[in-house]
Structure 1
Amino acid sequence: MNPIATDNVLIDGKRIAHGVYGQGEPIVLLHGTPSSSLIWRNVVPRLVGAGYRVHLFDLLGYGHSERPRDPSVDTSISAQVPVLEALMDHWGLETAHIVAHDFGGGIAQRLGVFHPRRLQSLTLIDVVSYDSYPSPRTRQQMASGLERLIKVPDSEHRAHFREWLLTAVHDPQRLESSALETYLDFISGPIGQASLFQHQIRHYDPKHTMEVAARLPELGRIPVKLIWGAHDAWQSVDYAHRLHADIPGSDLSVLEECGHFSPEDRPEEIARLVIEFLKR
């Protein structure tokens, strides 16, 4: 599947794949784990068609961006915030509408709390928050040792994560016929398998969101939209209601027949809700 982050820039000496589409008010899209900017491929054309300039990128250690070999390079939620800010500077954006999914939502929460001037508005879609991650299943795997998981045969690794990714959507057949194999390619093979654990899973630590949990009411200073899949098996919709209660003035939409990867299950609805929110 063709990438949508087709340009590259060095941020603090690390290569970041990114892309810009359309003209108008700026929107920055943040993806999560274990996906990439590709998750926005069916949302971007609708945002562009509505008159927005869309900026996106693959997080450091994800997708088509650099996978640093040095294990001391931090690719956690907290460490991705300065990468985002540097990219916004590269794009010439002092401020923008931020739309974030999954781990990207953790990045966006920290940006909104520590650097509120960078946000015109914030849309959080099926995001990590508070102590909502890792899931019990993932926590158990991490406890058994990541080194062992890094070294399992590729076929076993791919089979395991194929099944795991299919639990992220309400319509597995739709994902299987589109982006599933590309997502698996990013996290499998001689580079992707080790990178998944080094750059993603080892940073599944709720400290990054718990550090800002008590300050989430501060996000009420800007317009905030929450969008959640009613059948999200990775991030319970209970967290959507908790965020809604903690962020004054926030608006919540819960989508039926929709799982955690809501931009895969319901891209048309996601785009419609974002556009309506921004125009309002």
Structure 2
Amino acid sequence: MPETIELNVLRTTVQVDGHEASYLTVEQDGPIVLLLHGTYWSRVWLPVLGSLAEAGLRPIAVDLPGLGRSGGELTLETATVPALAEWVARFATALKLSGPVAVVGHDIGGAVAQHLLVHDRMEVPALALANSVTYDSWPVPGVARFRNPEVVAATTAEEVLTGRRLSVTTALAGAATEALIAEYLDPWTDARVRRSWMAMAGAADSRYTLDLVPALQQSTTPKLLIWGEDDGFQKVEYAERFAWEIPHTALVRIPDAGHIPMENAPDRIAGTLVEFFMR
């Protein structure tokens, strides 16, 4: 049953691969915008969903399998960028999303978004990336360590939660409060989600973005980068390089914002996305 999260924003589910895929949305007609998360969950998009809907868009922020509120569990095989892109395409089919679907990706979700565009898994008329992984900018050390099976086997639940708390606190930057941190951390109290997150970390590989660069350079699809300038995980220099090397790309820098700039400057980011997608 759909659950109201904020005014007009619902959390609901659809079956994908035999499991419930959870997503946030505003149920209305309008151009579809599919919002993807990375090593966090769909909560990163909540600050902008209402404004996107008010402008006439139909936002859909999905939790990848095994993460956030979605069912299932990721493995090293199903957590790769190509596998996640295939899952997103199946999610879109399950929702009967026909026609063009604009895509926005944050963190590793940005790699999935780039893959969807390049490999024509969906009709993507416009692509936006928010503090996304690009080139060889990832995995960052805190994620890369989980590529070692011995580290995964020796990691306790408390260590995962402690590491996630540090990451979330840093990513939220000036928006961090104890209540918001706790809200972001809630899914990781589930052992299945912790295992899925470690699988995503273990499958993180920069070749998945490096391999896309030649095709991105040939792409005429409009692209937008939105970047919190104070991001310590995905440096703004990578965004500057992407905007310089990839045609049809605009970069919007968000001052005094970290890795999750949607929490630091929701109105500006929502307005920027609306202008980009509605033009």
Pair 1:158-2:161 in alignment = yes
**Match in the other structure for 1:278:** 277
1:28-107 superposed matches below 5 A: 28-33=34-39, 35-68=40-73, 71=75, 74-89=78-93, 90-107=95-112
Whether 1:17 aligns to 2:18 is no
Q: Structure 1 residues 185 and 2, CA, compared in 2 at 3 Å: closer, same or farther?
A: farther
| Helix, strand or coil at the partner of 1:94 | coil
| TM-score, normalised with respect to structure 1 | 0.88
Aligned AA (1:268): D
- Normalised to the residue count of structure 2, the TM-score between the two structures is 0.88
Q: Cα–Cα, structure 1 residues 258 and 72, in superposed 2: closer, same or farther, change >3 Å? A: closer
DSSP-derived class of the 2:125 partner: strand
Trace 1:77-156 onto structure 2 (pairs within 5 A). 77-89=81-93, 90-115=95-120, 118-140=123-145, 142-143=147-148, 145-149=151-155, 152=156, 154-156=157-159
Kindly tell me: are residues 194 and 127 of structure 1, through their superposed partners in 2, closer, same or farther at Cα, counting changes over 3 Å?
A: same
Q: Distance in 2 between matches of 1:86 and 1:140?
A: 30
2:226 corresponding residue in structure 1: 227
Give 1:139 deviation, angstroms: 2.7
1:214 Cα deviation (Å)?
A: 2.2
Report how far residue 23 of structure 1 moved: 2.7
Give the counterpart letter for 1:163 in structure 2.
L
- 3-state SS of paired residue (2:239): helix
% same residue? 27
Query: Who is 1:208 aligned against?
Result: 208
Instruction: Answer with 137-146 or 116-125: which moved more.
Output: 137-146
Q: Which runs of 5+ in 2 are unaligned?
A: none
Any stretches of 5+ residues in structure 1 without a counterpart? none
Q: Distance in 2 between matches of 1:66 and 1:189?
A: 11
Q: Please report how far the alpha carbon of residue 13 of structure 1 lies from its aligned counterpart in structure 2 after TM superposition.
A: 2.6
Higher mean C-alpha displacement, 12-21 vs 123-132: 12-21
Q: Secondary structure at the match of 1:42?
A: helix
Aligned residues: 271
Look up the SS of the partner of 1:269 in the other structure.
Answer: helix
CA change 1:121–1:262 in 2 (3 A) is same
Q: Which runs of 4+ in 1 moved over 6 A?
A: none
Aligned-partner Cα distance in 2 for 1:225–1:55: 18
